[in-house]
């Protein structure tokens, strides 16, 4: 049974004469513990698909099963409850609170879960140690580099060990060295925590760290690639070939 099962989903904005099919009959399955990239250019529908998977938006039609539960027609309150317990988000802009320390930023979502203070304290420290920031617990965002801030955001997303991690263009605001470190962190978390990780990106370099790449264009899944036993450089080359077929541009720096 797949963890994520999306069946013939449409998302239509402005229904009627000027309607826009942001998602146009998308069907996909994501198994537990996969590391998947969703690749597409701006306007391809990748962000809409990510919002749908993250329960931030609902389909116009179609079905979405998360852990075998049909979540496509649930109330906002129920969606919020499921989202809080089952999904961790990593945003391009970090979304850290400037006045809080790294540890306090990681603890904040755990407060909303109603966790006891001692449990929150222990989980936040472990999460920051996991991403190599155990020595920066008391530092505020302004005292850290962009790469370190993004790793705090990762720690915040994984602290409570949710089964699904969604990363929205996580390398978009980083230099190449920080991007590599971030992608290695996601790769390690997928392997060690056995979390299912989905990453939206326009960057072929970032996508080459995953085990499967879904290419989206005009609201449809264009094709997909599985890494299999190939090394990352060869996988990157295969990704670039598909990007070229789609008429787009990807990163060409390894």
3-state secondary structure 209-221: CCCEEEEEECCEE
* Res 249: pLDDT: 53
Other Cβ atoms within 10 Å of 93 Cβ, number: 12
Other Cβ atoms within 10 Å of 154 Cβ, number: 25
* Res 213: pLDDT: 97
Stretches where the chain sits below pLDDT 50 are 252-254
* Res 18: pLDDT: 81
**Is the pTM of the predicted complex or chain greater than 0.75?**
yes
Q: CA angle 200-55-39, nearest 5°?
A: 15
State the helix-helix crossing angle for 146-158 and 117-130, rounded to 10 degrees.
Answer: 130
Count of residues making up the chain? 254
* Res 254: pLDDT: 37
Tokens 């906002």, residue located: 76
**What's phi and psi for 75, nearest 5 deg?**
-70, 160
Tokens 């006045």, residue located: 99
* Res 250: pLDDT: 52
Q: CA angle 40-44-47, nearest 5°?
A: 80
């Amino acid at each position: 049974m797949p963890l994520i099962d999306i069946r013939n989903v449409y998302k239509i904005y402005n229904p009627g004469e000027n309607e826009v099919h942001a998602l146009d009959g998308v069907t996909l399955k994501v198994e537990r513990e996969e590391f998947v990239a969703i690749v597409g250019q701006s306007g391809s529908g990748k962000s809409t698909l990510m919002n749908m998977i993250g329960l931030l938006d609902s389909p116009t039609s179609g079905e979405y099963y998360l852990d075998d539960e049909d979540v496509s027609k649930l109330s906002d309150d129920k969606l919020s409850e499921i989202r809080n317990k089952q999904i961790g988000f990593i945003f391009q802009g970090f979304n850290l609170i400037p006045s809080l320390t790294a540890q306090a930023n990681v603890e904040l979502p755990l407060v909303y879960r109603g966790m006891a203070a001692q449990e929150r304290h222990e989980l936040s420290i472990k999460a920051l140690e996991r991403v190599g920031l155990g020595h920066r617990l008391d530092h505020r965002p302004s005292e850290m580099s962009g790469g370190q801030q993004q790793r705090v955001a990762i720690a915040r997303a994984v602290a409570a060990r949710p089964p699904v991690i969604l990363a929205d263009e996580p390398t978009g605001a980083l230099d190449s060295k920080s991007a590599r470190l971030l992608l290695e962190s996601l790769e390690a978390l997928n392997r060690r925590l056995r979390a299912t990780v989905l990453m939206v990106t326009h960057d072929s370099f970032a996508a080459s760290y995953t085990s499967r790449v879904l290419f989206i264009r005009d609201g449809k899944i264009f094709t997909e690639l599985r890494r299999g036993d190939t090394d990352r450089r060869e996988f990157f080359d295969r990704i670039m070939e598909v990007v070229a077929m789609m008429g787009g541009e990807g990163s060409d720096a390894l």
